[in-house]
Amino acid sequence: MTLQKGDLTAGRLLRTAEREKPLWLQISSQANLNWKKTCRVICREILHLRLAEFRSEDIRKLYYNSIMNMVKKDDGNCESVKEAEKDSARRLFIHRQRNGCGLFLYQFEFNSEEGFKPDTFSMQQMSSNKIAYDTLIYIRKIILNGKYNSAEDLIELLEIERKLLLEALPYQFVVSNIILCVIKIICEENGHFSAASRDLVPHDSLNELWKAPKSKKVMDPRELRRTTIMAINEFATEMDNCVDDICGQAGDHICTSDVIITHSLSHSSTLSAFFKSARKSQKSFRLLVVDDEVDYGDCLSSVDILTAMQRATRVFISAVAVFPDGSCLAPAGCLMICLAAKRHAVPVCVCTCFYKFTPFFVADIDRIYSFGSAANVVPFTDMEKMEDAQLVNPLFDLISAELILQYISHTSTFTPSHVYRFIGDYYCRDRIEMSL
């Protein structure tokens, strides 16, 4: 295989080919393809996904398995190559969300002597904000590179992707919510609210009753792709300003001399920014944090929550997902705080971004992967002392709507009974699935 000196792919491809040549030869022999054809297909995958060298064996195995599945079907046309790119992108996106790698996989620098050396690589759990951005980038690639002739084809393509990702990531509601938001954007941009569907959907206001039914637009695929990408860019800007808008309301919800109890502050970037904004507004309040890693505020043990709740004036928590009935899925330990707050009549406020509002119910909460590793609770060195013990490390708590006073979003503050109105602003009501 010959490479030009000025080719941008030369440096990364030469080192990869020399190291992985035995594995690539095995793939080519099993797929009945010659060495050059196999190398061309795999290198196209590498350049498309920016995956030249990975330190993680799991990611490499995942990557080559997807290539193996698709390269056998390669009959010389580009459709199989595009399908391989799409399959690899989906598999790697799922792998990032499961292992908390996120966009850190793109932070590599090439060195002629050492190859690709990561500047920053973290396997910690990703925040919901980064998951939302990663999902939007993935959907944007589908819209740019996908094959469709109309808005219906594009919506169907996104629905298929959403179902596949939802099966692989049942506990990542943000991934499904972002795709549904993009579908709503496509429907609005192309006028896909037909007269039949509009008659069945409740109107947001009386003014909608006087509007004539709109007919569906027929757009050129290029124009459809351009307008959709522009709308997604505006949606990304709204996501950028979401946390700042929530923090701007901190002075209205926190009073001077308040005693506030919160949970998992180190794992919620929204809550951290919310309290920092309140500090900047010259609010002198005391913050009690039920968390092991506290940067600021007083650390509060779980056994002291009932005692501290007698002096508390407010409770602020974050949510993983908010359901249409006003209930929410919060980090494990929040249910205990909310029950103690109800006993002492302390208001509970939930700070959350709009993409965490989920437009469907979860019929069986046990279906969600809601248990973490027991090693986070008890080290493996202490397991010999507890041979007959069963350790459970729950990740989430389901908080009912009656325990929550209000939700604080980027646009307004509302009670749990008005969550369904907020959901209607971001999702197509005729496309919402009411259960998983």
Per-residue pLDDT of the chain (436 residues; tens, 9 = 90+): 443 433 334 445 445 555 555 555 555 554 445 555 555 555 555 544 444 344 444 455 555 555 555 555 544 445 555 555 566 666 666 666 655 543 322 233 333 333 333 333 333 456 888 889 889 999 998 898 888 888 889 999 999 888 888 877 777 889 999 999 999 999 888 765 443 344 444 545 445 555 555 555 566 788 888 999 999 999 999 999 999 999 999 989 998 889 999 998 888 889 999 999 998 887 788 999 997 666 556 788 888 899 999 999 999 999 999 999 999 999 988 999 999 999 999 999 999 999 999 998 876 666 665 677 777 777 777 777 777 777 788 888 899 999 999 999 998 899 999 998 889 889 987 777 544 4
The pLDDT value given to residue 265: 87
Domain end, chosen from 95, 126, 157, is at 126
Q: How far apart are CA 163 and CA 159, in angstroms?
A: 6
- Rounded Cα distance, 360 and 434, in Å: 4
Q: What burial letters (b/e) apply to 39-63, b meaning 16+ CB within 10 Å?
A: bebbbbbbebbebbbbeeeebeebb
Query: Which of 81, 96, 126 is the last residue in one of the domains?
Result: 126
Q: Does any domain span residue 353?
A: yes
Q: Which of 107, 126, 145 is the last residue of a domain?
A: 126
Helix (H) or strand (E) holding 128: helix 128-145
Inside any domain, residue 417: yes
Residue 240 lies in a domain: no
Q: Quick: pLDDT tens for 26-75.
A: 555 544 455 555 555 555 555 444 443 444 444 555 555 555 555 555 44
Judge if 286 and 417 occupy the same domain: yes
Is 3 domain-assigned? yes
Identify whether 143 is part of a domain.
no
Dihedral of alpha carbons 64, 169, 142, 55, sign: negative
Given a contact cutoff of 8 angstroms between Cβ atoms, the answer to whether 254 and 314 are in contact is yes
Q: Is residue 393 part of a domain?
A: yes
Cβ neighbours around 222 below 10 Å, total: 8
Residue 216 domain-assigned? Answer: no
pTM above 0.85, yes or no: no
Q: CB-side exposure of 393: number of CA atoms within 13 Å?
A: 8
The CB-side HSE value for 101 (13 A sphere, CA atoms) comes to 17
Range of the domain at 14: 1-126
Question: For residues 209 and 331, what is the distance between their CA atoms, to the nearest angstrom?
Answer: 42
Backbone angles phi, psi at 260, to 5 degrees: -115, 135
In tens, the pLDDT along 146-161 reads 888 888 899 999 998 8
Instruction: Give all strands of the β-sheet with 314-318 in edge-to-edge order.
Output: 298-299, 286-290, 259-263, 314-318, 348-351, 406-408, 413-414
* Phi, psi at 393, each rounded to 5°: -120, 85
User: CATH number, domain at 267?
Assistant: 3.40.50.10470
Domain count, the chain: 2
Q: Which residue has the tokens 């030869």?
A: 25
Q: Is residue 114 part of a domain?
A: yes
CB atoms within 10 A of CB 167: 10
